Amino acid sequence: MSTGRHYFKCGATILACWDAVADGDLEYVAANPAPLYLSSDESLEAVRERAIAAGAQPETQRGEISVRPWGERSFYVTDPWQNPLCVVQAGSEYMGGPTPRA
Protein backbone atom coordinates (compact mmCIF):
# COMPACT_ATOMS: atom_id res chain seq x y z
CA MET A 1 0.00 0.00 0.00
CA SER A 2 1.26 3.47 -0.88
CA THR A 3 1.88 6.03 1.87
CA GLY A 4 1.45 8.74 -0.75
CA ARG A 5 -2.28 8.35 -1.30
CA HIS A 6 -5.32 8.91 0.83
CA TYR A 7 -8.86 8.34 -0.42
CA PHE A 8 -12.06 10.04 0.69
CA LYS A 9 -15.42 8.59 -0.33
CA CYS A 10 -17.62 11.52 -1.33
CA GLY A 11 -20.93 9.98 -2.34
CA ALA A 12 -20.54 8.68 -5.88
CA THR A 13 -17.12 10.36 -6.14
CA ILE A 14 -13.81 9.37 -4.59
CA LEU A 15 -11.34 12.16 -3.86
CA ALA A 16 -7.77 10.85 -4.12
CA CYS A 17 -5.09 13.01 -2.47
CA TRP A 18 -1.66 12.16 -3.78
CA ASP A 19 1.95 12.88 -2.78
CA ALA A 20 4.06 11.87 -5.77
CA VAL A 21 7.36 11.35 -3.91
CA ALA A 22 5.77 9.35 -1.07
CA ASP A 23 4.06 7.28 -3.77
CA GLY A 24 7.44 6.38 -5.31
CA ASP A 25 7.82 9.02 -8.03
CA LEU A 26 11.13 10.86 -8.38
CA GLU A 27 9.78 14.40 -8.59
CA TYR A 28 7.64 16.50 -6.29
CA VAL A 29 4.29 17.71 -7.65
CA ALA A 30 3.06 21.02 -6.23
CA ALA A 31 -0.26 21.33 -4.39
CA ASN A 32 -3.34 22.80 -6.07
CA PRO A 33 -3.20 26.60 -6.09
CA ALA A 34 -6.90 27.06 -5.23
CA PRO A 35 -9.43 25.11 -3.16
CA LEU A 36 -11.26 22.10 -4.49
CA TYR A 37 -14.92 22.46 -3.49
CA LEU A 38 -16.91 19.42 -2.37
CA SER A 39 -20.56 19.27 -1.34
CA SER A 40 -21.77 16.94 1.41
CA ASP A 41 -25.20 15.67 2.47
CA GLU A 42 -23.66 14.59 5.78
CA SER A 43 -23.34 16.75 8.86
CA LEU A 44 -20.51 19.23 8.23
CA GLU A 45 -19.44 18.79 11.85
CA ALA A 46 -18.90 15.05 11.26
CA VAL A 47 -17.14 15.62 7.93
CA ARG A 48 -14.84 18.25 9.48
CA GLU A 49 -13.99 15.92 12.39
CA ARG A 50 -13.09 13.09 9.98
CA ALA A 51 -11.00 15.41 7.79
CA ILE A 52 -8.99 16.63 10.79
CA ALA A 53 -8.60 13.06 12.10
CA ALA A 54 -7.19 12.12 8.67
CA GLY A 55 -4.56 14.88 8.91
CA ALA A 56 -6.24 17.93 7.37
CA GLN A 57 -5.46 21.28 8.98
CA PRO A 58 -8.20 23.91 9.35
CA GLU A 59 -7.41 27.17 7.58
CA THR A 60 -6.66 30.01 9.97
CA GLN A 61 -9.39 32.38 8.73
CA ARG A 62 -12.01 29.99 7.29
CA GLY A 63 -11.45 26.68 9.09
CA GLU A 64 -14.56 26.85 11.28
CA ILE A 65 -17.98 25.96 9.92
CA SER A 66 -19.90 29.10 9.07
CA VAL A 67 -22.24 30.64 6.52
CA ARG A 68 -20.22 32.60 3.96
CA PRO A 69 -21.34 35.99 2.58
CA TRP A 70 -22.40 34.23 -0.66
CA GLY A 71 -24.72 31.90 1.31
CA GLU A 72 -22.73 28.65 1.50
CA ARG A 73 -22.38 26.87 4.84
CA SER A 74 -18.84 25.51 4.69
CA PHE A 75 -15.37 25.04 6.15
CA TYR A 76 -11.88 25.16 4.61
CA VAL A 77 -8.96 22.85 5.36
CA THR A 78 -5.58 22.01 3.87
CA ASP A 79 -4.99 18.30 3.33
CA PRO A 80 -1.74 16.61 4.45
CA TRP A 81 -0.25 17.31 0.98
CA GLN A 82 -1.03 21.03 1.24
CA ASN A 83 -4.01 21.01 -1.14
CA PRO A 84 -6.71 23.48 -0.10
CA LEU A 85 -10.21 21.98 0.22
CA CYS A 86 -13.62 23.46 0.97
CA VAL A 87 -16.54 21.31 2.06
CA VAL A 88 -19.99 22.85 1.55
CA GLN A 89 -23.28 21.73 3.08
CA ALA A 90 -25.47 20.27 0.32
CA GLY A 91 -28.29 22.62 -0.54
CA SER A 92 -26.28 25.75 0.27
CA GLU A 93 -23.94 25.61 -2.76
CA TYR A 94 -23.34 28.93 -4.51
CA MET A 95 -23.92 28.35 -8.21
CA GLY A 96 -23.36 31.91 -9.47
CA GLY A 97 -25.66 34.89 -9.71
CA PRO A 98 -26.72 37.35 -7.04
CA THR A 99 -25.50 36.67 -3.52
CA PRO A 100 -27.61 37.11 -0.37
CA ARG A 101 -27.30 40.48 1.32
CA ALA A 102 -25.28 40.50 4.53
Q: What is the mean pLDDT of residues 48-76?
A: 95
Give the H or E element holding residue 45.
helix 44-53
Q: Counting runs of H as helices and runs of E as strands, what totals does the chain give?
A: 1, 7
Reported as a single tens digit per residue, the pLDDT across 17-52 is: 778 888 888 888 888 899 999 999 999 999 999 999
H or E element at residue 84: strand 84-89
Instruction: Give the pLDDT confidence score for residue 75 in this predicted structure.
Output: 98
pLDDT at 102 over 60: no
Backbone φ and ψ for 52, nearest 5 degrees, come out as: -65, -40
pTM: 0.79
The CATH number assigned to the domain with range 27-89 reads 3.10.180.10
Sequence ranges of the domains in the chain: 27-89
